[in-house]
Structure 1
Amino acid sequence: MAERILICDDSRELRTLLSAQLQKLGFEVKVAIDGEDALARAQQFLPELIIMDINMPKISGLAATRKIRELPKLKHTPIILLSNFGEEGDVIAGIEAGADEYLVKPFRQGELAAKVKILLRKSTLSARKLDETTVQGLDVKDPDTAMRRFKETGQIVSREFAGFTIIDKLGQGGTAVVYRAMEPMFNKPVALKVISPFAAVKENFLKRLQRSNEISVKLIHKHIVRTYLMGEYQGVHFMMQELVEGAPLDSYLEEGHAPLGEREAHKLIHQVAQALAYLEERKLIHRDIKPGNIYLTREGDAKLGDFGLSRLADDSAQTAEGYLLGTPHYISPEQANGNKDLDIRSDLYSLGATFFHLLAGRPVFEGDSLQAVVLAHLSKQPPKLREVAPKVSEPFAALIDRLLENDRAKRFEHAKDLLAALDALPVLA
């Protein structure tokens, strides 16, 4: 029986060309014309591999990839993302969204065929191993067998890993799986972030990981998720982090959830601003402030996490990795433009974009593609918050609007200035 491949691209010419090439190789091929169509056809067709353009109408390839990874029947289906750009930022965004491979247009037919065959072979093996894992849970006793299966599937299948006792899986992204685990010295629960073997082979990924770890292990602040240590076990990289028993702020953005209230927003933005002031004192910037990187504890307090893109503010050499290091809906104009002299004002813009989204229930800018959103941040002045969220008080809305000034000279100069402005706001009844 022919293996099934779904091609998702808004270019009719490319869909036709790829379909013909893959059908000649003996594959059964279906096509989708935009992101929404891709999601619908993927669930109907249940392909064994998906080839998806990163820029598509209605829903971008990145957003569609994230949604596919949430579907039980498709979460392990290999995905190849296509792009015209080839910037490393696109590669990072694709990996984080859950893609397995990446091709830059134009590409050779042989290159596509090779990647398709490799991913299908890997997928068949991984599916078989994952089925065994589902049956056996975390009961593989032999360390060599457990490590081999991890490198094949990206999933831990043993209760023991590098001295840690694995309790359960907390979550999974494109670059890592996070487990609740007991650490060996004090036998206390921690979050164990284990880097995917598939992400680790990407060029420069481990260098960025090492750099972010060196930064994050030194950060000790009540509103920052603590990283206790980083390590390597049989070639697998991992981090032991503080276990936050709560949810990220992007849970407020789920369908059917009411927008964040102003009183709660004031409290949380103040706490994140404290974390940013702490970073600024150490000449650090985060570069990826967004709802998914701000965690709520059970007590309702905010903790800033995921320092994977953080760097020293005066280390301009580290900014040459690609213009799109960051998340499009929250990226500052200067970061989107590839400026090498980023400072804390870039993080403050992203913080404003984050709380605009949480208060308004929609992002600052929307677009049919990732590039359209980035271009909007580059070229347009964001709408005023009260235009889309009239219930927010004028003083608080004005503060958010100032954070979102396109010209960074008009924003707060330092995080401590934002804290002072927050403290000066009228107390809500």
Structure 2
Amino acid sequence: MSLTRNQVIEIRELGEICESESNRFRIVEVIPGGMGICLKIRNEASGNDYALKTIRTALVEESRIWTMFVEEIKTWLTLSACDGVVEAHCVVKINELPYVCAEWLSGGNLRALMTESDIDSFYENTIRIVRSLEWANTHHHIIHRDIKPENILLNGEGLAFITDWGIARPIAKDSSEINSSAVKDRSTLRPELTEAGEFLGTILYASPEQIMGLKSIDHRSDIYSLGCVLYEWEMGCPPFIGATAEEIAYKHLNEKVPRIRGILHRSNFGAENVIAKCLEKDRNKRFQDYASFANALLDASQKRDARFSVYVPGIRSAASPIGEGGFRKRIRSGELTKISSQDGRYFVAEFDDLKPYIREADALMAVWNEKLRRSVFISLQSCDQLLRPLIGSD
């Protein structure tokens, strides 16, 4: 049964996380997407808004799409530890479907800022995005692969947060599912769309190596895509446009990027050299790491006397990478204290050490993926076994 506008649903897990007096949430808005559905919900006690995201019911039986959704849940919950990523609070099961409960950002997406020429906002948010991508890459070896304005959301203060990790991948994984024949778009009206079964990534912002289907895609692909976004922010349109995805793909691979020029040949933000380096077709000529990218932005901002707070990634809370057996690894490495009871069971001495793994187990139970659940040492039953000795001890 589909959820509808004005319907009231009870979400105990989210109510507890947001420390509300009520677990009841009213559906304020239903926002359909290509492969999923996003619901804006409002807590009846606090009035605070949250987001619920799930896969379309019709696609649940599509093995490839379902796998992508499960991978997004795992990645999103893991990366939510960084305060530059839209925070996913928990995963719950509603009507037999898993829903990700996340914060609701009221500022819309990056396009809300891209019509303005606010130099302070340009540099502050670009550096936020760069350093958040760097955090994901450094700590979890994740690349996003679909950087575009719609996947960068804004809070009420106009600060940027990265979202939509649906096709994000660890660097070591094979990217061969993206190939040159996959850029065909049956519609010439909306070449910016990413459709199920078609090109994974949005062609207006896709790197040459994504288009060519290279297996060794790394963070420099995201740097190219962000360069396309910054170009559009500066010029009002992406660097390459066309009537079809094939035409745009050809330009990404073969044509020079049009020069950035403003009134009297002066650009809005003074970042044209930075953007040009991002958009090098040869990835070895782009910024080779995020630190040099961020430093180049800081240098350019100083030349234009931009004033803003320089973002440094912060950690919201401890998180366990979903489905990777982190609990078992930490016990084996000796990082967690373990005490043997009379019946041979082990339990964690500090409850805070256990909390990330309880959250992980809850998420996997909501998704109900047996392969993933078997890869995790802790289950809800073992949580109970671990906690009982604790509860009974002083």
Q: Same fold (TM over 0.5)?
A: yes
CA offsets 1:280-307 (integer angstroms, 9 cap, x no match): 1021100000001111111121111111
Q: Which residue of 1 aligns with 2:220?
A: 345
Q: Which residue of 2 aligns with 1:297?
A: 155
- Answer yes or no: is 1:385 the counterpart of 2:257: no
- Answer yes or no: is 1:158 the counterpart of 2:15: no
3-state SS, counterpart of residue 204 of structure 1: helix
Question: One-letter code of the match for 1:249?
Answer: L
Q: Which residue of 1 aligns with 2:119?
A: 262
For 2:55 and 2:29, the matched residues in 1 are separated by 13
- 1:184 shift after superposition: 10
For 1:214 and 1:175, the matched residues in 2 are separated by 17
3-state SS, counterpart of residue 261 of structure 2: helix
Q: Which residue of 2 aligns with 1:287?
A: 145
For 2:255 and 2:127, the matched residues in 1 are separated by 27
Q: Which residue of 2 aligns with 1:251?
A: 112
- Answer yes or no: is 1:193 the counterpart of 2:53: yes
**Dislocated runs of 4+, deviation >3 Å:** 154-157, 161-164, 182-189, 258-263, 387-391
Contact 2:4 2:27 in 1 (8 A): no
- Aligned residue among 82, 90, 108 for 1:221: 82
Inter-CA distance 415–389: structure 2 relative to 1 (3 Å threshold): farther
3-state SS, counterpart of residue 423 of structure 1: helix
Inter-CA distance 155–321: structure 2 relative to 1 (3 Å threshold): farther
3-state SS, counterpart of residue 238 of structure 1: strand
Residue ranges of structure 2 left out of the alignment (5+ in a row): 13-23, 183-198, 306-394
Q: Which residue of 1 aligns with 2:129?
A: 272
Inter-CA distance 216–192: structure 2 relative to 1 (3 Å threshold): same
For 2:158 and 2:48, the matched residues in 1 are separated by 22
Q: Which residue of 2 aligns with 1:311?
A: 169
Contact 1:228 1:239 in 2 (8 A): yes
Comparing 271-280 with 156-165, which one deviates more in the overlay? Answer: 156-165
- Taking structure 1 as the reference length, what is the TM-score of the superposition? 0.58
- Aligned residue among 99, 111, 114 for 1:238: 99
- Aligned residue among 252, 277, 284 for 1:402: 277
Comparing 183-192 with 373-382, which one deviates more in the overlay? Answer: 183-192
- Aligned residue among 230, 234, 238 for 1:355: 230
For 1:428 and 1:394, the matched residues in 2 are separated by 7
- 1:364 shift after superposition: 0.6
Inter-CA distance 185–407: structure 2 relative to 1 (3 Å threshold): farther
Q: Which residue of 2 aligns with 1:204?
A: 64
For 1:229 and 1:412, the matched residues in 2 are separated by 35
Question: One-letter code of the match for 1:354?
Answer: V
For 1:180 and 1:174, the matched residues in 2 are separated by 17
Inter-CA distance 184–205: structure 2 relative to 1 (3 Å threshold): farther
- 1:427 shift after superposition: 4.2
Q: Which residue of 2 aligns with 1:428?
A: 304
Q: Which residue of 2 aligns with 1:169?
A: 29
For 2:236 and 2:244, the matched residues in 1 are separated by 19
**Relative contact order (C-alpha < 8 Å, sep 6+): which is higher?**
2
Q: Which residue of 1 aligns with 2:346?
A: none
Contact 1:176 1:194 in 2 (8 A): yes
Inter-CA distance 367–259: structure 2 relative to 1 (3 Å threshold): farther
- Aligned residue among 418, 421, 427 for 2:293: 418
- 1:193 shift after superposition: 1.2
- Answer yes or no: is 1:178 the counterpart of 2:27: no
CA offsets 1:104-128 (integer angstroms, 9 cap, x no match): xxxxxxxxxxxxxxxxxxxxxxxxx
Contact 1:295 1:302 in 2 (8 A): yes
Contact 1:261 1:359 in 2 (8 A): no
CA offsets 1:33-84 (integer angstroms, 9 cap, x no match): xxxxxxxxxxxxxxxxxxxxxxxxxxxxxxxxxxxxxxxxxxxxxxxxxxxx
Contact 1:272 1:302 in 2 (8 A): yes
For 1:224 and 1:185, the matched residues in 2 are separated by 26
- 1:409 shift after superposition: 0.5
Contact 1:382 1:406 in 2 (8 A): no
Inter-CA distance 182–387: structure 2 relative to 1 (3 Å threshold): closer
For 1:309 and 1:224, the matched residues in 2 are separated by 15
Matches within 5 A, 1:45-60: none
3-state SS, counterpart of residue 292 of structure 2: helix
For 1:155 and 1:351, the matched residues in 2 are separated by 36
- Taking structure 2 as the reference length, what is the TM-score of the superposition? 0.63
For 1:388 and 1:428, the matched residues in 2 are separated by 16
For 1:223 and 1:204, the matched residues in 2 are separated by 29
Inter-CA distance 314–388: structure 2 relative to 1 (3 Å threshold): farther
Contact 2:178 2:211 in 1 (8 A): no
For 1:355 and 1:320, the matched residues in 2 are separated by 27
Contact 1:381 1:405 in 2 (8 A): no
3-state SS, counterpart of residue 210 of structure 1: helix
